Amino acid sequence: MSGGGSSSTSNTLHSTPPWEYDVFLSFAGKDTRLNFTGHLYEAFKRSGIRTFRDEVDLERGSNIMKNLSQAIEDSLCAVVVISKTYANSKWCLNELQKILDSQKTLHRRVFPIFYNVDPADVRKQTKSFMKAFANHEKKFRKNPSIVQNWRKAFTEIGNVAGVDTRGK
C-alpha cells in the first residue's frame, strides 16, 4: 500500500475567519458621514468587505462603549478617518485609544485617512485640534490623565503613514 497523504479534506479557504468584521470604520459623523465616509462604507460593502459602522451595527438599547470596544477587537483592521472635528468627540478619541491598544495587543492593522487635515496638525494637536484638546482639558481638569492619553493616541496616529486626502 502506498501512502498518498491524508484523507482529511479540511478546506481553509471556506473556513470562518476569527474576526466578525474585516474593517472597523472610525470617523466623526458630522464631518464625513454623508460624504467621504458614507461613500467609503458603500464601496467596502460592494466589495464584500464586512465593515462595522456605528449607526448601522450598534444594537439599540445596548451599552455603546462596550459594544464599540468589542467590535474593535472583533475587526481585522481599523480605518480611522480623521477630520477637523474628530478630536471634538470623546467617543472618537476613546475609539482611537481602543484601536491603538488593539493594534499593540491583538496585532490589528490601523489605516489612517487624514481627511482635509494635515497629519502634522494631528501629531502636534495644532489648528482645530488645539482648540478641541483645550476644551477637553477644561472638562476633564479633575482627571487630566484622560486627555493626556487622548493626546498620546492622537500623536501616535499622526505618526502612522496614511492617506492624506489633500493630495500632498
Domain residue ranges in the chain:
18-164
Question: What are the helix (H) ranges across 27-143?
Answer: 29-32, 36-46, 54-57, 64-73, 90-105, 119-124, 128-139
| Contact between residue 79 and residue 40 where contact means Cβ atoms under 8 Å apart | yes
Taking a C-beta distance cutoff of 8 angstroms, is the pair 66, 101 a contact? no
Report the pLDDT averaged over residues 53-67: 65
* Fold category of 18-164 in CATH: Rossmann fold (3.40.50)
C-alpha cell at 167: 493630495
pLDDT digits (tens, 9 = 90+) for 77-98: 999 999 999 999 999 999 999 9
Judged against a pLDDT cut of 60, whether residue 60 lies above it is answered with no
Sheet arrangement for strand 75-82:
51-52, 21-27, 75-82, 109-114, 163-164
**DSSP tally for the chain: helices H, then strands E:** 8, 5
Residues 145 and 76: their CA atoms lie apart, in Å, by: 29
Would you say residue 43 has pLDDT above 50? yes
User: Nearest 5°: CA angle at 152, between 78 and 163?
Assistant: 40
Whole-angstrom Cα distance, residue 18 to residue 47?
A: 20
pTM of the model: 0.86
Whether the predicted pLDDT of 11 surpasses 90: no
Q: Is 106 in a helix, a strand, or coil?
A: coil
What CA–CA distance (Å, rounded) separates 85 from 45?
25
Q: Which residues are catalytic?
A: 95
Band of residue 65 on the pLDDT scale cut at 50, 70, 90:
confident
